[in-house]
Amino acid sequence: MRPVLGTVLTLLSLSGCGVGTVLNVVTAPVRVTGKAIDLATTSQSEADENRGRRLRKLEERYGQLERDYRQEAARCAEGRDQSCARQQAILTEMQEIRPQLPVQPD
C-alpha cells in the first residue's frame, strides 16, 4: 500500500497542473465557506461607514426641516392657517429625528 501511495504522490508532484487541480478541489469548500461568512458579516469599518452615512442623511433631513419650519413660521405669522398646520407637522418630524442625532458641542 505504501509503495502505491508513494508512486501516486510522486506522479502528482511531477505534474504541476494535477497538483493545482487537486488542491483547488480540496480547498474549494473552505474558500466557499469563508466567502459566505465574509458576506454574512459586517466589518467594523463597514458598520462605521453605514452609521456615518445614516447620520449624514438624518442631519441633512433635519437641516431641511429647520429651513421649512422657519419658512412656514413666517407664513403662519402672516395669518395663513395652512402654514400653521404644516409648521406643526414639521415640528413633530423634527422632534422624532432629534434624539437620533449626535449631541453637538456648544
Residue 68 · residue 94 · CB < 8 Å:
no
pLDDT tens string, the chain, 106 residues long: the values are 566 556 556 655 655 555 566 556 667 676 777 676 666 677 888 888 999 999 999 999 999 999 999 999 999 999 988 999 999 999 999 999 999 998 877 6
Residue 4 has a pLDDT of 55
List the chain domain ranges: 44-98
Quick check: helix, strand or coil at residue 31? helix
Residue 30 has a pLDDT of 67
Handedness of CA 26, 27, 33, 36 (dihedral sign): negative
Residue 68 has a pLDDT of 97
Residue 7 has a pLDDT of 55
Residue 19 has a pLDDT of 55
Grid cell for residue 75: 407664513
Residue 23 has a pLDDT of 55
Residue 25 has a pLDDT of 63
